[in-house]
Amino acid sequence: MSNDYKNILVPVDGSESAERAFDKAVKIAIDNGGKIDVLNVIDTRQFIGEMQDTLISGDTIYQMTQDAEEYLANLKKWAKEKFDFDKVDYHIRYGSPKRIISVDFIKDHHNDLIIMGATGLNAVERMLMGSVTEYVNQHAMADVLIVKTDLDNK
């Protein structure tokens, strides 16, 4: 891996695939003397179909945010405990994961590499929503590494 990658974005969604990507991102960041921005995008649009014109309650958004923050803090703790790596900042955004990951976040944080899992959705969700990974791979403003294997399977 090139030593040019110093500012790595790792979008996560709680899937095993995303966590494999996080582990590999930590390894690459250590090897390159870089840092990681780990990002969880809360896609509030997912409730539109079920709730029609009803707005999502503030309590629901608050709980989703609390859950995301706890998950991201645990990933940061994992990086410190397993790899002795503490250059991890975590972020939560709201909206379209495709757009936020591929364009908006990169503009704000100047990431030079995105490392993400192959997919976090099941087959039906991919068919209905499209794969975020596929979209990011085609539209990202940075290089993209799509992770399919564990660290042990180099």
Q: pLDDT tens per residue, the chain (154 residues)? A: 455 899 999 999 988 889 999 999 999 999 999 999 999 999 877 655 555 555 667 788 889 999 999 999 999 999 999 999 999 999 999 999 999 999 999 999 999 999 998 865 555 555 544 588 889 999 999 999 999 887 765 5
pLDDT of residue 124: 55
pLDDT of residue 129: 44
User: Which residues fall within 8 angstroms of residue 70, CB to CB, at 6 or more apart?
Assistant: none
In a domain? residue 153: no
pLDDT of residue 55: 62
pLDDT of residue 48: 56
pTM over 0.95, yes/no: no
d(CA 67, CA 26): 22
CATH of the domain at 71: 3.40.50.620
d(CA 66, CA 59): 10
In a domain? residue 1: no
In a domain? residue 111: yes
Angle at 67 between CA 66 and CA 68, to 5 degrees: 90
Cβ atoms of residues 115 and 8 within 8 Å: yes
Report the domain count for the chain: 1
pLDDT of residue 29: 97
In a domain? residue 92: yes
In a domain? residue 124: yes
- Identify the domain containing residue 12 by its residue range: 7-147
